[in-house]
Structure 1
Amino acid sequence: MKTIVQQELKSKPLEKKLPFKFYWKKILKTGIITWIGLLVIWTVAAHFSDPQFLPSPLATLRGAFELGSDGSLFIYMAYSLVRVLIGWFLGNIVAIPLGLFIGSNKTIRLLVEPVINFVRFIPPLAFITLFMLWFGIGEQSKIFLIMYATFFVVTINTLTGVLSISEDKIRSANSMGASDFQVLRYVIIPAATPYIFTGAKLAMGSSFMAIIGAEMVAANEGVGFMIWNARLYFQTDWIFVGLVVLGLMGFSMDRLFALAGRKFLKRYNIVS
């Protein structure tokens, strides 16, 4: 009897602690503590710095209100976001089939892979002047630049996914009478999907880097143009607004894409 009562008394304090641990883990998972810590460090560093050198979070917020009061901030965000989405989407449409084709054909892979590994090390920003010359200073040059930034990341990840498939799986499908198209559809694509998904996610970061560079050089709208234009008036707070906005845009796209992957590609072990 004593042992039962002792066990009940011991279990009660543990029951009280469980909710706290549960909520603490929930708070940690949100990352809010990290964000608060970064804001505190930023505030302290700005306090001991020249406002023109490092504006405080409050000064950056005031700059955001200034830019947003006439709607210019939201217009710049919309221009950049549309360019990134179009270029990223078109880059994926081209890169995924090509990566599957190159990975599935050994002869083509031997011919093309050295060229891909050579060109992919040339950064997109190095092509800005050429793309302006070839496609003009309008939207085409910016979209093609984002396509370039997306293409190699997605192609290489798709190619890696195809090469990671065991030969035994392909032989087994062939031995059961599967055609080349059926092998591609039911063996290669499902196995390579996690790699394709990862490549598309990584390409988002490359797309934002490419569009900001392009907008700084040849644009009259967009977040990159806003950041570049702010330097003329030495508006450091506007520059920080642009940096924060880019981070928020990229983070939101990444989270939405990850959510869509978990929802619609769960069967392919998409867990990011």
Structure 2
Amino acid sequence: MADKKISLGRIPAQLTKSYSVISFLILWEIGCRTNVINQNFVAAPSTIITTLIGLAEDGLIFGHILVSLERTVLGFLFAIIIGIPLGVLLGGGFKTFERIVKPVLFFLGQFNPFSLFPIFILILGIGEVSKVTMIFWVSLWPILFNTITGVREVDPLLIKSSKSMGAKRLTIFRKVVFPSSLPYIFTGIKMSSGIAFFMLIAAEMIGASRGLGWLVWNAQTNYQIPVLYAATVVISLLGLVINGLFRLLERKIVKWKDSVSF
């Protein structure tokens, strides 16, 4: 009975969080239907939903989603493969390597990715390689810098205790350093996942023939306002889903984080 009371008590709280969103959508719909909002520029929520259903029935939207996800995953994985090991090296006491590489990396990390678009296209062309490289570039820095911070924030007492028990360097890394830095690494990964996906949309507006970014650009060019808003909604939902998946993965892997919080 106690469990039922707890679960029922949570329902109003969850509904309360949705009130503002529902109210906004209702006002948006009313504004469009009463011509307070010009539907030549803003599609009504009902129109957006109808357009999404039509795109789904035709199967067009799924092809664009798959293309965008493929580009994002490739660039994102390369960023993880390079960013985490490099961050461990820079944060893990390799002083000579850190002095040589760190200033250059921090300098490169300050570049505005949008200003690098022409350079990537000039060097790599307008094909898939340039788009994946753009995703890799923007995804790398949050992962790298958060990994460095995570490794440096490991409690020195844990490392000293491991050494006093005769643990070797590799064992200390596997059992102490890496697990302790995982919350920071996941923070970097979640930041990168959002940045990577939305940066891809911008990249697909240049020299692409498929993908959600191209769909937005094509809808805008051909003045297909409902399609433009429908594609934007899909992009936002995918961003939320991707971030939610990484949050779920973090809870599964870093279980000790909640148990030691105060």
Which TM-score applies when normalising by structure 1?
A: 0.84
Is 1:87 matched up with 2:75?
Answer: yes
Is 1:255 matched up with 2:244?
Answer: yes
Is 1:136 matched up with 2:125?
Answer: yes
Is 1:32 matched up with 2:18?
Answer: yes
- 1: distance between equivalents of 2:87 and 2:28? 43
Q: Which residue of 2 aligns with 1:6?
A: none
Compared with structure 1, are the counterparts of its residues 107 and 259 closer, same or farther at alpha carbon in structure 2 (3 Å cutoff)?
same
Task: Return the match for 2:192 from 203, 206, 210.
Answer: 203
Secondary structure, counterpart of 2:205 in structure 1: helix
Return the offset for 1:270: 9.3
Would you say the 8 A contact 1:214–1:224 is kept in 2? yes
- 1: distance between equivalents of 2:206 and 2:127? 12
- 1: distance between equivalents of 2:218 and 2:163? 60
Would you say the 8 A contact 1:79–1:221 is kept in 2? yes
Task: Return the match for 1:50 from 29, 38, 55.
Answer: 38
Runs of 4+ in 1 over 6 A off after TM superposition: 17-20
- 1: distance between equivalents of 2:259 and 2:183? 6
- 2: distance between equivalents of 1:228 and 1:88? 23
Q: Percent identity?
A: 32
Would you say the 8 A contact 2:117–2:134 is kept in 1? yes
- Higher gyration radius (CA): 1
Q: Count matched residues.
A: 253
- 2: distance between equivalents of 1:36 and 1:202? 27
Instruction: Output the amino acid matched with 1:194.
Output: P
Return the offset for 1:213: 1.1
Deviation per CA, 1:146-181: give whole Å up to 9, x if none: 111111010001011111123333233233332221
Would you say the 8 A contact 2:126–2:206 is kept in 1? no
Secondary structure, counterpart of 2:154 in structure 1: coil
Unmatched segments (≥5 aa) in structure 1? 1-16
Between stretches 81-90 and 64-73, larger displacement belongs to 64-73
Instruction: Output the amino acid matched with 2:42.
Output: L
Instruction: Output the amino acid matched with 2:26.
Output: V
Would you say the 8 A contact 2:150–2:185 is kept in 1? yes
- 2: distance between equivalents of 1:41 and 1:203? 34
- 1: distance between equivalents of 2:40 and 2:206? 24
The 5 Å alignment of 1:230-245 reads 230-245=219-234
Instruction: Output the amino acid matched with 2:86.
Output: L
Q: Which residue of 1 aligns with 2:104?
A: 115
Q: Which residue of 2 aligns with 1:182?
A: 171
Secondary structure, counterpart of 2:126 in structure 1: coil
Would you say the 8 A contact 2:28–2:44 is kept in 1? yes
Instruction: Output the amino acid matched with 2:82.
Output: V
Deviation per CA, 1:76-115: give whole Å up to 9, x if none: 1111112112211221111111101110123333333322
Task: Return the match for 1:77 from 65, 74, 92.
Answer: 65
Which TM-score applies when normalising by structure 2?
A: 0.87
Would you say the 8 A contact 1:125–1:214 is kept in 2? no
- 2: distance between equivalents of 1:258 and 1:53? 36
Return the offset for 1:192: 0.4
Task: Return the match for 2:90 from 95, 102, 122.
Answer: 102
- 2: distance between equivalents of 1:74 and 1:130? 31
- 2: distance between equivalents of 1:270 and 1:209? 34
Is 1:60 matched up with 2:48?
Answer: yes
- 2: distance between equivalents of 1:255 and 1:103? 28
- 2: distance between equivalents of 1:187 and 1:88? 26
- 1: distance between equivalents of 2:198 and 2:259? 26
- 2: distance between equivalents of 1:123 and 1:79? 25
Between stretches 211-220 and 234-243, larger displacement belongs to 234-243
- 2: distance between equivalents of 1:113 and 1:167? 22
